[in-house]
Structure 1
């Protein structure tokens, strides 16, 4: 990097919901050239304005070539991606001289030891961060955003809302707060983060990427309980609370039941374990309270939860996994 700013950004998953939001916000700044890293046989549409680099994940040289000259690499990929894909990218980035990596975090606080003990997906997130530090060529910026609000609210096994049957299952009393984020907010956070000077300029010694080097970056759209979510649903739908059936289930009991169901082959039970665990009364899901948020630092706006709730409710009318 010849300047004190990141200008060239490569992103894996630029055509996805989260990656697409990040790409759009990076391009909106006018400060970045964005290159989408895609498989050679991919036909997925990509945002207008990105460059494209085709790669073969079984040929590391193609990854290295695609990443040469890039200042930063953003990795977004689904849980179904091969386990070694992210490590291949990290090793290629080190070989190519990429200085900054945003690993595939984008979820609850994977630096929380209690969460990691109970949910394997969160525990595995430390592996890529450790690999980046071991290679010693790049630094990571691990963005923690909680679960995606528009995605999670639409799925019954996630935040407990069954829109088709107007039923909600509260974990414990439904009052436990958790941090959750929208796709656009995370896009803005990444764009804001990668637009910071690398080293401090002027009198503010914290307003730079060095301040976040090899750190978790905590951001959020909403700090809400299930009760808060239901209140938003009622405002959006015009329903009364009496129109809904409200059930209650102990969070720890729900988690244990889901863990047992997993052993019997219930594939959705793992989703229930993840989501239920962030609603424990230990504030493990409320990292804004325990760790603090970088929202103000990054200039993130306050969002209207009802607008995000409407998006989730519309998604629930079709296939919420699509």
Structure 2
């Protein structure tokens, strides 16, 4: 088949999932099913089927997965860790060939980075579980932080993740080692990562973009300087004291360490061109980030 047809997505109306759904619907090649909790009041877009499930009932999850070619999971980092494992077990029992786990962020092959940013162990456990079930292949999407949301390091935009997923699914599933010679099919990324990026920028790059967009000068801003190691240590201390802000501070700061751990563009290369992702303009999306009031965050 030239593309996968049936795509189930968890978190279809969320910050990441909604963009993936938008791009899948635009492609016009897929039947998209939103898997939601039985008590959810979220409204899915027209053209999306809805399967309401009970996470406490394995059979309910399996029924929602039957006939699906791909399960895409987009869940909050605050979601119970067992929820994703339940979805993976249901996908395996339903014979779903592909799973895109909730893996949208840092380069998971860089163990010091992801472990010190607290993302490594839980993500590895999920991927290991998929492989141990022996039914589905997994694909992780490395896209850095969301630029729209955080103006963070080596970032991508929410919509770029959506385009990445839609482009990959449109290029076909096949089976392992059967990509028909067409680089870019799902089989080429089986049990591995796809690397995308909108921009690879420093904090200085982002500040200069903000100056251009807002028409301000550097002297209009209050600028302070703090070493990344010191700021990371402060974040860890805040976490020990029960301050959740410390988690965010430490996670972001770790990617800005001067060893360039967060710059995967140079070390791993990008799949942007392979997936047909367009070149994007930094200032355009800085403008959206600083002016948008009614958004999806």
Deviations 1:76-127 (A, max 9, x none): 0111211100000000000000000000011111221111331223331111
Aligned to 1:276: 253
1:62 aligns with one of 40, 60, 63? 60
Aligned to 2:179: 200
- Asked if the contact 1:11–1:35 (Cα under 8 Å) also holds between the matched residues in 2, the reply is yes
TM-score (structure 1 length as normaliser): 0.87
2:117 aligns with one of 110, 119, 136? 119
Q: CA–CA distance in 2 between the matches of 1:121 and 1:206? A: 29
What is the CA-CA distance between 1:139 and the residue it aligns to?
A: 0.0
Confirm whether residue 298 of structure 1 aligns to residue 275 of structure 2: yes
Aligned to 2:11: 13
Structure 2: tracts of 5 or more residues without a match: none
- RMSD after superposition: 1.6
SS in 1 for 2:270: coil
SS in 2 for 1:142: strand
SS in 2 for 1:147: coil
- Counterparts in 2 of 1:189-268, with a 5 A limit? 189-198=164-173, 199-201=178-180, 204-268=181-245
What is the CA-CA distance between 1:258 and the residue it aligns to?
A: 1.1
Aligned to 2:20: 22
Structure 1: tracts of 5 or more residues without a match: 154-158, 160-177
Q: CA–CA distance in 2 between the matches of 1:150 and 1:129? A: 28
TM-score (structure 2 length as normaliser): 0.94
- Asked if the contact 1:189–1:298 (Cα under 8 Å) also holds between the matched residues in 2, the reply is yes
SS in 1 for 2:213: helix
Deviations 1:188-243 (A, max 9, x none): 00000111133333xx4533221111101111111000111011111111101111
Q: CA–CA distance in 2 between the matches of 1:207 and 1:112? A: 23
Aligned to 2:106: 108
